Amino acid sequence: MEFTAQHIADLVQSKVVGKPEQRVVGWSPLESAAEGDLSFLSDKQYAHLLSTTKASVVLVSELLMPEKPKEGTSLIPVPDARKAVSELLNAWQASQTKVKQGIHPNAWVDPSAKVHETAWIGPGCMVFEGAEIGAGSQLIAQVFIGAGVHVGHDCLLHPGVKVLDGCSLGQKVILHANVVIGADGFGYNQGKQGPEKIPHVGNVVLEDDVEVGAGSTIDRAMMGSTRIGRGCKLDNLVHVAHNVHMGAYCLVAAQTGIAGSAQLGNGCQIGGQVGMIDHIRLADGTKVAAQSGLMKSVTEINSKWWGSPALPASHYKKVLILMNKLPELEQKIRTIERKVKD
């Protein structure tokens, strides 16, 4: 990678404040950038770093543009620096990605499976009977595709991914390393000799443009489908239990656990380490803070929930204020008790 500041400005349809010929050979955050790096500023709390950064070129959100750039640093004003740098990174990554086609000699594909001629089945992959792999999809290496699995076009499955029997991936689905789609759900009846396993004969359906982070697991339904809606993004180490239905464009951060048959509306945003009980319902646009525990359904759209057990954010803030005053209140109560006793 090597560009001039002017070339970058042209790509984002902007101008250069500084030296248009300034060269860029790498990417880095403002605080750790070296000469030759491209960086960005999109948050005012980091604006002070513009005066100390060693980055050669910085994309800056227009509202944060200084009157005069630091000597040696060229600035490129854009409406949203974070979005602009994301677009540049996408373009650069696409230019570096080598799309392959065919079946590696060390892969195994059942004769009844259908693999599009433009797809890639990498070394150590296994594709079982009746599976379908769509056009342009990339199974990087050591990917397991079970019987009857459908993989849509332009999907990207990283090493160690396992998509088990009967599950279905839409178009442009991304599964990161060691994701497991379609393991049995955690369902048992209490028998005379202890827990008795309930068979899970359903599947998992991931709709178009879903991305699932490394090490995450999505369990198959007992009956019917566990469904992740279009455009949902799940972080690393997320667990989605059997028969969960997730609406479109939800965001779920790391280490969240969603219990069986929960239903999330469209556009929900779930912070890290959130826990949800089974059969819960979340209205569209529900936002849940990190480490919250949801114990009841949410019916109000676009509401915010904090704490464990979770409460509406406005109410939980009042609870926090009172909790911080408890030692002082306790002391006052003890003082009053002593006076009454005397």
The single-letter DSSP state of residue 231 is T
| Mean pLDDT, residues 40-68 taken together | 93
- Distance spanning both ends of the chain, measured CA to CA: 81
Whether the Cβ atoms of residue 173 and residue 209 lie closer than 8 Å to each other:
yes
Whether the Cβ atoms of residue 107 and residue 127 lie closer than 8 Å to each other:
yes
Q: Which pLDDT does position 1 carry in this prediction?
A: 63
Domains of the chain: 3-96 (3.40.1390.10), 104-313 (2.160.10.10)
Neighbour-count burial of 262, counting CB atoms closer than 10 A to its CB (0-12 exposed, 13-18 middle, 19+ buried): buried
| Mean pLDDT, residues 284-299 taken together | 97
The sign one gets for the Cα dihedral 201, 146, 260, 207 is negative
pTM over 0.75: yes
- Position 16, amino acid: V
Whether the Cβ atoms of residue 163 and residue 146 lie closer than 8 Å to each other:
yes
Q: Which pLDDT does position 31 carry in this prediction?
A: 94
Whether the Cβ atoms of residue 159 and residue 140 lie closer than 8 Å to each other:
yes
Q: Which pLDDT does position 337 carry in this prediction?
A: 85
* Percent of the chain scoring above 90 in pLDDT: 84
pLDDT digits 0-9 by tens, 140-183: 999 999 999 999 999 999 999 999 999 999 999 999 999 999 99
Stated as kind and residue range, the H or E segment containing 120 is strand 120-121
Please, what is the average pLDDT of the chain? 94
Alpha-carbon separation of residue 334 from 172, 325, 327 (angstroms): 64, 14, 11
How far apart CA 156 and CA 162 sit, in angstroms, is 13
Q: Which pLDDT does position 68 carry in this prediction?
A: 80
pLDDT digits 0-9 by tens, 200-229: 999 999 999 999 999 999 999 999 999 999
How far apart CA 300 and CA 291 sit, in angstroms, is 21
The single-letter DSSP state of residue 309 is T
pLDDT digits 0-9 by tens, 57-116: 999 999 999 988 788 899 999 999 999 999 988 888 877 777 899 999 999 999 999 999
Active-site annotation, residues: 242
| Mean pLDDT, residues 274-288 taken together | 98
How far apart CA 140 and CA 156 sit, in angstroms, is 8
Lowest-confidence segment of 179-183, 198-202, 243-247, 316-320 by average pLDDT: 316-320
Question: Please, what's the b/e burial string for 25-60 (b: 16 or more CB within 10 A of its CB; e: otherwise)?
Answer: eebeebeebeebbbbbbbeeeebebbeebbbbbbbb
